[in-house]
Each structure stands twice: as C-alpha cells, then as structure tokens.
Amino acid sequence: MERTLVMIKPDGVERNLVGKVISIFEENGLKVVALKKVRLSKKQAEAFYIVHKERPFYDSLTTYMSSGPIVAMVLEGENAIKKVREIMGATDPAEAKEGTIRKLFGIDKEKNTVHGSDSPESAAKEIPFFFSEFELIAAE
C-alpha cells in the first residue's frame, strides 16, 4: 500500500467539482485516508511549490494556488502515486488523455484542477505539509 497527496485546485473547488473528482479516484480503487478544505496563503503556496522556484510560472502558479480554497487529501492504494498521476493526466489538459481528470475538467496548463505527488520522495514531504501524524493515524 502506498499513500499520495492530492489537491483539488482553486478552479476545481470553485466549479463545485470536489465530489466528481473524488468519485473518479474512488472508482479507481483509491481510498480517502484524510481530507480537508483550506485556503493557502501566498507564502504557503510558495513553500509547497518550492521545487519550482526557478521556473517562469512559479509566481503565477503560487498566486493562483492562493487565490481561493483548495481541497487536500491523502489517497491510499496499490501504486497510489503512479495510479493518481495516470488518472490525473498530463499537466496540460490539451495534451491529457481522454477520460483523465485534467482532460475532463482542466482549463489550461496552470488551472488544471488537480495535483498529485510525483514520487515517493515528494509524497513524503507533501503529506505532512497538510496532515499531522494524528490526522493520519486517526483515519485508520
């Protein structure tokens, strides 16, 4: 069993897609271990995406990610990290495969509705960014 950190980004929360997005993950066998709705400050968004700080889209991305509430969750399942990345689709919705969340709901390369950890190392940093040990243990 593996765990990954997923966010429904402001464009998804704003368009009332929380239930639809979670359903897609659940239908694919992933289990919701922990879940919360929060609004990140610009500084918190910058901290979350610190690996991208040299990228040209960093300022715009972190402004966008702090522009409204998001829903953060921990999903669990066999190969959860890779599985979630497949279900999400490519970063750019225009390039995402049919049936993926980003193809179905993504607006553009930035407002692409969902985030999922890209590796076990990322998941190990991203899960505790949002959830305490207590919240993860209490869910079992």
Distance, in Å, from the CA atom of 49 to the CA atom of 59, rounded to the nearest integer, reads: 10
Distance, in Å, from the CA atom of 57 to the CA atom of 62, rounded to the nearest integer, reads: 9
Residue 57: which of Mg ion, ligand IDP, none does it interact with, CB under 5 to 8 A by kind? ligand IDP
Residue pair 4/72 in contact by the 8 Å Cβ criterion:
no
- Please tell me whether residue 110 binds Mg ion under the rule CB under 5 A: no
CB of 43 to Mg ion, least distance (A): 20
Residue closer to Mg ion by CB (options 12, 19) is 12
CB of 136 to Mg ion, least distance (A): 22
Task: Please give the residue ranges that form the binding site for ligand IDP (CB under 6 A).
Answer: 52, 57, 61, 91, 109-110, 112, 115, 118
Residue 66: which of ligand IDP, Mg ion, none does it interact with, CB under 5 to 8 A by kind? none
- The CA R_g of the chain, rounded to the nearest whole Å, is 14
Binding string to Mg ion for residues 68 to 107, with x set by CB under 5 A, is what? ----------------------------------------
CB of 118 to Mg ion, least distance (A): 5
CB of 138 to ligand IDP, least distance (A): 28
* Alpha helices in the chain, H assignment, sequence order: 10-14, 18-27, 42-48, 58-65, 80-88, 101-105, 120-130, 133-138
- Please tell me whether residue 118 binds Mg ion under the rule CB under 5 A: yes
Residue 98 CA to its chain's centroid (Å): 19
Distance, in Å, from the CA atom of 18 to the CA atom of 104, rounded to the nearest integer, reads: 13
Query: Catalytic residue positions?
Result: 115
Distance, in Å, from the CA atom of 81 to the CA atom of 77, rounded to the nearest integer, reads: 9
Binding site for Mg ion (CB under 5 A): 118
